[in-house]
Amino acid sequence: MKDNYYFDNAATTLPKPEPVYQFMDSFFRSHGVNPGRSGHELAIEAETMIIETRRMLGEFFGFGGDPNRVTFSLNATDSMNIALLGLIRQGDHMIITRVEHNAVLRPANHLERDLNVSVSRISADDVGYVDPEDIRKNITDKTRIVVVNHASNVIGSLQDIQAIGRIVKDSPAIFVVDTCQTAGVVPIDMDGWGIDVLVFTGHKGLFGPMGIGGMIVREGVDIRHVKTGGTGVNSVAEFHPEEYPHRVEVGTPSIPGIAGLNAAQKWFAKLGRDRSSDAADLSSHAAACQAALKHIHQQENRTANQLLDAFHDIPGVIIYGPTGTQSRVATLSINIGELPAEQVGTMLDADHQLCVRAGLHCAPVIHKDQGTLERNGTVRIAPGFFTDDEDIEQAIKAVTEIAGFGASS
């Protein structure tokens, strides 16, 4: 029996692959210096690691442009704010969806209030899918940005980014995609899908640590300076540099965080080569990682379907979002009878050692649309790549027992 059963991977993946822990520790011990700020060997080697990580992440996301446009920040929320505040102008129009996280909802609300930005909020259907045609209908000659969450962090619905990208490409708008729930989980083709700005976080599917995220900015898209300060280059200049990555990066970067992403990228490539059964050429980083992502997505969805099938058979369990073979990631939301979601979450933790997230998940609008806002949300059960049969059995047993309690209370 385990000490705990981890189903909070939509918040942060746990565990990370062992090479991530090892490389973060060893590199921080040996190269915990300011990269690029000094001319000594350690600083040069640290900067070389960062450059390598930018290149690998660009290939991982299907970006064929300048690796210097792969930029780092504190997290996805930080990068999303930099992108939105650096692209939107007073009086512009922007389009978002009602499945967004507060990382988009709140900046949009502030822009609407403070800069007289017009915001169109596109609804999803009952299981969280946005119709790309609804986005087309809302694009005007004043539309500056279209922002779409690739997958819901509440119910797992996976949007058709390729179709939306084709629509946005036919307009002057800039297409910004939040990949927090899909980066490291499903293959993403930034160039092929017409994504202009791709925002990612390190601590979820990319198997990095907390405190590191970033965005990739296509050539031709220039974000205004939102943060300014030291960059370690051209210090005599009175104003912040215009070139990427310095245009959007300030201060000392997170060597441990970037080292974690570096090691994770190499782990993805090795997994793809180890698990691939076809004869495709996996010598490139991009091809090996694509093979890994297909394997990860299939495995996580198998786990999710096992849980869904079991939950469907438990009286009193309410399931939200896509079911069966619909396009989704392995993020499940349930409620049990009339029990408050947070009470169920507490019972799962205290009585069954299940780590889940109960509540509104920083996404109140989709909860309102799902009818779960008034009961303070749902219980989110999010398996991951390292979820095993024992975890699955414990989750099914726990939900069954609590459903029985709810029926008798």
In a domain, 363, yes or no: yes
Shared domain for 66 and 192, answered yes or no, is yes
With b meaning 16 or more CB within 10 Å and e meaning fewer, what string describes 172-202? Answer: ebbbbbbbbbbbbbbbbbbeebbbbbbbbbb
* CB-based contacts of 92, cutoff 8 Å, min separation 6: 115, 117, 118, 142, 143, 144, 145
How many CA atoms within 13 Å lie on the side-chain side of 227? 18
User: Where does a domain end: 267, 296, 315?
Assistant: 267
Per-residue pLDDT for 408 more than 70?
A: no
Nearest to 292 by CA among 315, 311, 269, 314: 269
Shared domain for 65 and 181, answered yes or no, is yes
Shared domain for 97 and 244, answered yes or no, is yes
In a domain, 356, yes or no: yes
Shared domain for 305 and 258, answered yes or no, is no
Shared domain for 34 and 171, answered yes or no, is yes
> Which residues share a beta bridge with 334?
319, 379
Look at residue 409 in the predicted model and tell me its pLDDT.
55
| Structural domain harbouring 393 | 5-15+287-408
pLDDT digits (tens, 9 = 90+) for 40-93: 999 999 999 999 999 999 999 999 999 999 999 999 999 999 999 999 999 999
Per-residue pLDDT for 148 more than 70?
A: yes
In a domain, 335, yes or no: yes
User: Around Cβ 1, how many Cβ atoms within 10 Å?
Assistant: 6
Rounded-to-integer distance, Cα 379 and Cα 154, Å: 9
Nearest to 321 by CA among 5, 99, 133: 99
Per-residue pLDDT for 38 more than 90?
A: no
Shared domain for 197 and 337, answered yes or no, is no
Mean pLDDT, range 238-254, rounded to an integer: 90
Shared domain for 234 and 341, answered yes or no, is no
Look at residue 406 in the predicted model and tell me its pLDDT.
57
User: Where does a domain end: 267, 297, 322?
Assistant: 267
Please state, rounded to an integer, the average pLDDT across all residues of the chain: 95
pLDDT digits (tens, 9 = 90+) for 196-232: 999 999 999 999 999 999 999 999 999 999 988 887 7
Mean pLDDT, range 252-266, rounded to an integer: 98
Shared domain for 82 and 223, answered yes or no, is yes
In a domain, 377, yes or no: yes
Shared domain for 60 and 11, answered yes or no, is no
The model's confidence at residue 278, banded by pLDDT at 50, 70 and 90, is: low
CATH number at residue 368: 3.90.1150.10
Shared domain for 133 and 253, answered yes or no, is yes
Look at residue 279 in the predicted model and tell me its pLDDT.
55
Shared domain for 257 and 305, answered yes or no, is no
Look at residue 238 in the predicted model and tell me its pLDDT.
76
pLDDT digits (tens, 9 = 90+) for 299-351: 999 999 999 999 999 999 999 999 876 799 999 999 999 999 999 999 999 99
Overall domain count for the chain: 2
In a domain, 247, yes or no: yes
Mean pLDDT, range 190-200, rounded to an integer: 99
pLDDT digits (tens, 9 = 90+) for 101-140: 999 999 999 999 999 999 999 999 999 999 999 999 999 9
pLDDT digits (tens, 9 = 90+) for 7-23: 999 999 999 999 999 99
Top pLDDT among 37 and 239 is at 239
Helix (H) or strand (E) holding 71: strand 70-73
In a domain, 243, yes or no: yes
Shared domain for 254 and 341, answered yes or no, is no
Look at residue 232 in the predicted model and tell me its pLDDT.
76
In a domain, 278, yes or no: no
87 SS3 class = helix
How many CA atoms within 13 Å lie on the side-chain side of 80? 25
In a domain, 275, yes or no: no
CATH number at residue 106: 3.40.640.10
User: Where does a domain end: 212, 239, 267?
Assistant: 267
